[in-house]
Amino acid sequence: MRFKHALGLLSAAAMSLALAGAATAQDKTVKIGVILPMSGGTASIGAHAKAALEVAVDIINNAHPELEKLPLAKNAGLAGLSGAKVELVIADNQGSPATGQNQALRLITEEKVVAILGAYQSGITLTASAIAEKYGIPFLTPESVAANLTERGFKWFFRTTPIAPDFVRIYDQFLTDMKAAGAKTDAIALVHDNTEYGSSVANTIATGFKEKGRAGVIDVAYPVNATDLQSQVLQLKEKKPDVVLMISYTSDAILFAKTMQSLDYKPPLLLADDAGYSDPSFIKAVGKLSQGVFNRSAWAVGPAGSPSAVVADMYKKKSGEEMEDTVGRQMQGFFVLVDAIDRAGSTDPAKIQAALKATDLKPDQLIMGYQGVKFDDKGQNVLASAYIIQLQDGENYVSVWPKTNAEKAPMLPYKGW
């Protein structure tokens, strides 16, 4: 028995030696840490993001001449690092800021990643990026939008997505155009959860709208992952706002749609701030109850053969889902990060940081509808932008605004079911 025990220990030791040996022999791999919600209430987002990033890795690591406009696609691997491949190290944030922070620490100290991408929920990006800042590792968030993330004076933090002040501009112009088209847009209700994302975006929009002379903003807050939303829908029903702006994750977005139908409440104009309303499982679950909802998106599939159409096709093959704004922004952020590593020609964090600061991508080098990627001193992409899309038939979003980018005319009023 004792012999068997010793044998077990020996073979374990041999295996770990073999593994360690493999790691040193393959130092042509660039490890990038990714923090995502793989479990918890927003796990569907994590599953979609994982598929999208795996498609991005395929595009980078293998030769894709059909996508030659995108940086890194044409050749196999990173040209700047003599053909090195990238490898994802995905960590689960479990929907908790504390876990996200621990995972960032683990990725940096144990997995030795050269940079981190993440972490979907703004509240978790807040804590995880603080660790990266402390260790001097670049952290890029492709999708967290809370304004304060880039207001902390961080040196290692970058963000490609449009953020709340951009939304204020987009929504204000959109509502002005809708008013010109005959819709009433005076009383606006901001319906949001109490997370970092919900409350900070609602706050920025409320302040921004006030500055733009939009009075009559009503605030309807609710706790995230609510068991019941009847009283909020009844509040809206009583106050009768012209526009309801939803700032919600998937679970609450679905429950809102169901509750609005059962209490027979339809606002004249329903506008959603991305997040839950872009989740394909929202459309599958309650798309038919939400016909005519407007949504923010920087994603449009584009004509056949365009890089975005090719990428959308690859993503659909991988995940079985339609490509949408959230995974698109995640993929785009990952491309920006890896492009910087490629240009740095090194895995030294300081060189990657310098390359990120020098990023200057043009619209035709992107899969998203940004006007480009260029970071300001705070790490925010100053060329980020978005369209307004609408779920006209309850199954697929079509872009409806601005006019230059519209596939169809906006449909009013909100139809519901």
Partner 1 sequence: MSLILVQVIVGGLLLGAVYALFSSGLTLVWGMMNIVNFAHGDFVMLGMYVAFVVYTLMGGGPILGAPLATLVLATLGVIVYFGLIRDIMKGPMLAQILGTFGLALLLRYSVFWWFGANFQSLPQNIVGGTYAVAGLRIEASRLLAGVVALLVTLGLHLLLTRTSLGSKMLAVAEDATAAQLMGIRPDTMQAIAWAIAAGATGLAGALIANFFYIVPTVGETLGIVAFVTVSLGGFGSVPGALVAGLLIGVIESLSGYLIGAVYKDIVVYLLFLFFLWFRPQGLMGKM
Contact string (CB under 8 A) for partner 1, positions 143-182, x = contact: ----------------------------------------
Calculate the CA dihedral of residues 54, 57, 58, 64 and round it to 10 degrees.
Answer: 140
Q: Which of residues 177-196 bind partner 1 (CB under 8 A)?
A: 194
- Report phi then psi at 216, rounded to 5: 55, 40
Q: Which of 47, 187, 383, 411 binds partner 1 (CB under 8 A)?
A: 47
Told to check if 315 binds partner 1 by CB under 8 A, we report no
Calculate the CA dihedral of residues 119, 120, 123, 127 and round it to 10 degrees.
Answer: 10
Told to check if 355 binds partner 1 by CB under 8 A, we report no
Label the pairing between strands 217-222 and 243-247: unpaired
In whole angstroms, what is the distance from residue 53 CA to residue 56 CA? 5
Strand ranges, E, within 54-105: 85-92
Closer by beta carbon to partner 1, 87 or else 322: 322
Told to check if 97 binds partner 1 by CB under 8 A, we report no
CB neighbours of 364 closer than 8 A, spacing ≥ 6? 69
Contact string (CB under 8 A) for partner 1, positions 251-290, x = contact: x--xx--x--xxxx--------------xxxx-xxx--x-
Listed ranges 161-169, 200-208, 215-223, 397-405: which one lies at the site for partner 1 (CB under 8 A):
215-223
Decide: 300 and 402 in contact? Cβ < 8 Å. no
Told to check if 223 binds partner 1 by CB under 8 A, we report yes
Listed ranges 101-109, 161-169, 205-213, 221-229: which one lies at the site for partner 1 (CB under 8 A):
221-229
Closer by beta carbon to partner 1, 40 or else 268: 40
Give the number of residues written for the chain. 417
Told to check if 237 binds partner 1 by CB under 8 A, we report yes
DSSP secondary structure string, 60-111?
A: HHS--GGGTTSTTTSSSSBGGGTTBEEEEEEEE-TT-HHHHHHHHHHHHHTS
Task: Give the single-character DSSP code of 395.
Answer: S
Tell the smallest beta-carbon distance from residue 298 to partner 1 (Å): 23
Decide: 162 and 388 in contact? Cβ < 8 Å. no
Binding site for partner 1 (CB under 8 A): 39-41, 43-44, 46-47, 194, 220-223, 225-232, 234-235, 237-238, 250-251, 254-255, 258, 261-264, 279-282, 284-286, 289, 417
